[in-house]
Structure formats: C-alpha cells, structure tokens
Structure 1
Amino acid sequence: MAATAAGGADGDAAAYLARRGLTAMEPGTALTAMTDALGAQDTCVTVADVDWGRFLPAFTAGRPAPLFTRLTDGGTADGEAEEEGLTAYAAGLAGFSPARRERALLDLVRRQVADVLGHRETDGVAARTGFAELGFDSLTAVEIRRRTAEATGLPLPNSMIFDYPTPAALAAHLAEEIAAAAASAAEPDSGPATRTAADVPDDDGPEEAVSDSDIDEMDVDALIQAALDNAEE
C-alpha cells in the first residue's frame, strides 16, 4: 500500500511539473548530461528537460525574471505571435455603447475564468473578487491570458491578471483597449497630400470665358482682336 501511495504521489508531482513545462528526464539521459558537465569541469550547472514555451509564461507571469531575459527578448514570453488587429467579436463590441461593451466583456471574462478553473457555471465567479481568491496560479493566469487574447485579438501581457486583479477590472481594461484599437483602425491615412498639374493654377491666373453678352457689346475691331487671340492659342 505504501509503495502504491508513493507511486501515486510521484505521478501527481510529475503531472504537476509537466503542466508547467518541466518534463521528467530519463535517468540515462540525465546521468550522461551530468557526466559531460563534470568532464568539462562545469560544477555549477542544472540539467533539466524544459519546454520553454510552457515554462516561461507561467514563471514570468507575476514577476520579472532577469535570468531568462535573453530567452524572452524579441517576442512574447510564451513564443506566440501577437494577434494583428481585433477579432470579429471584438470589432463588433466596438460599436456598442461603453457600458454595454464592458458588460459583454465582463460576461466573457467570467466564462473564461469558469472554464479555466473547471467550473460549469459562472455563478461562483464574482465580478469584484480577486483572481487570486478565485484560485488562480501562474499557470492558470497564462491560460486565461491566452484565451482572452484569442477572443479579442488584443496584445495582452502575461501579467494581465496581476495588473487587473478582478474580472471587473480586466473587463474595463479590455473595453478601453478595444475602443482605442477600433478608433485607431478607423483613422484615415494622414500622409502628405499630392497635387497634380491640374491642381496648380497658371501664374497669370485663370482666363475668363467670353460670354454671348460680351460678344454682343464688342465692336468690329474688338471682335477681330478676339478672333486673332483665339487663333494664336
């Protein structure tokens, strides 16, 4: 019985670490790596099988990690490309009134929270209860950030639920970001205007057309001169 219990505990620990990107290594692989490190006289080394795409977002969600800066520079910490532009869902919300947009996003956030935490209903997800009180850890924080980014198309930081610590605060932030993104996308191109030759007036100014009434008032000499001028043009 003791062995069975221990095996179950070991299995739970392995599953817990695997969800966070730390996979159990085969003993032979680990010993070979350690032998190589000692052979190179590298006595300050850690040997681990790390899924960086899974490990880094959870590890850096609530705090900076200078040790891994070089691994996260130049992209998102989880290795995912940021969405370009709002999703159809978020673009539709942009046309709502601010209050209605925020209510819709609060519903979205509460559904996402319930799904991530394994709840069937949103009844247990109070709008102004902190995410930490609801049971979030670094791993579930990354998961809800991913789901929310996919739903809206907004670029969201891994520290999202720490920056906006309740569903209501997060919904208000998302509503503002969607409105700003929609307004930016709607702005016309403000590049410099170009002028064609037709837009540039002649130096002497536009010539006035000769009307029928002007012709009736001309004498013979004036009519001849006007005809000569037209012939030269």
Structure 2
Amino acid sequence: MKQHRFNHWSETKYLKDIVTNPMIEVGEYSYYSGYYGHHDFEDGCVRYLWGDEKSRRLFNPIEDYGWVLDKLIIGNYVCIASGVIILMGGNHNHHPEWITVYPFAEQIETSYEPKGDTIIESDAWIGMNAMIMPGVNIGEGAIVAAGSVVVKDVPPYTIVGGNPAKEIKKRFTDKEIEKLKEMRWFDWEREKIERAIPIFSSSSIDQLYDYYLREIKPYEHLENG
C-alpha cells in the first residue's frame, strides 16, 4: 500500500494505476489528488466497500449472505480532490423505519438493502472534503463544491454545493449542454483529444462542436462498427 501514498500536494495518481478492488470500475485518465487526506483511495476516500484484499480475506457477503453489492463506477477524466469521502455499503443495515437503527449481528444477513451503484460520470470534478452518499449519480461535467454533502443525483454540467448539496448554477446554456452531451469528448481517442486541447482550454463550445463535426462524427460509424 505504500506506493499509494502521496509525497506532495501537487502529486496526483491515475486511478487505473492504483485501484485493485473489483467492485470499483474506473475510466481512463481519472485521478485522485489525495495528499492532504493522508490515506489511500481504496482505504479512505472510498469507504465501507467490500472487495479489497483485506476484506476478501475476512468475509464474503456475496457467498455467505447472497447480497447483491453496489459498485463504484467512475468515468473518464474525473478529478477527485483530497479529503473526498465516497460512502458505499456501510450504512445499508440501518433501518430508520425499524424500532432501532442498531444493526444486530443476528439480523445482518436479512437487513442489508442495496442502495444502487454510485456513479461519477466522465469529466466530473469532486472538490476537497466533499462527501458522496451511497447510490448517487453525478452527471458528466458536474462540479461538486468543496465540503459539500451530495445526497441526490447531480445533473450533467451542473455546479452543486452545501449540505445537503443544492444546485448553484449550470455551467453552460441548455443548448451548449446538449452539444456537449452529444459530443462526449471524453470518449474520443486520446490523440484527437490532444489535438483539441487549446479548444478545451477555452469556453468556445461552438468551436469544439465544429471540430467534432469535422474530425470525430464522420468516423464514429467506423469505430462503432
């Protein structure tokens, strides 16, 4: 685990290089900047998710109890800042509608209820010390402000903040967002993304859309066929 630690705040690690838990799916170029969190991605940022090496040695709720476990699914080019907490299965045995929320060991097998996969779609940015609750879907291009607690789905290209997190504003107009959702630039070949980096580092969605119509769309059927 030592190789997962950070040496400086400027250091980031691609999740593809550090994730080993089969319950976590990670896209390309998504990274974790965890220096100030002082813990690893799979054992600190992601919490209460069975499937890491140690938990697999201790127990297997899939085989032992027949549980259907939630997954953490992260898209391409996602930015996760230091101190972020992604809560997974640890609170699935607490029932507010029961007389007690205490998870008696005798009831563990039958009390578990899946929350659904937690999904962070491509090009999302999760700010420092934000907390994401189980089963939340954070849309592509969304921004979660530092210190926020996300308890419900976040629409694409939307900035949310607070506890509970609420919409602050859309990043772009509805028309521009529709173009971005059509282009899905984060799924392009890396070489074509690199050629368009000057456009990405601007706010000209129309210019990117022209590039898409010229360089990407005419060849999509070849890549998908």
- Name the TM-score, length of structure 2 as normaliser: 0.20
Q: Which has the higher strand share?
A: 2
Q: Which has the higher helix share?
A: 1
Q: Which has the higher contact order (CA 8 A, sep 6+)?
A: 1
Structure ID, larger Rg: 1
- Name the TM-score, length of structure 1 as normaliser: 0.20
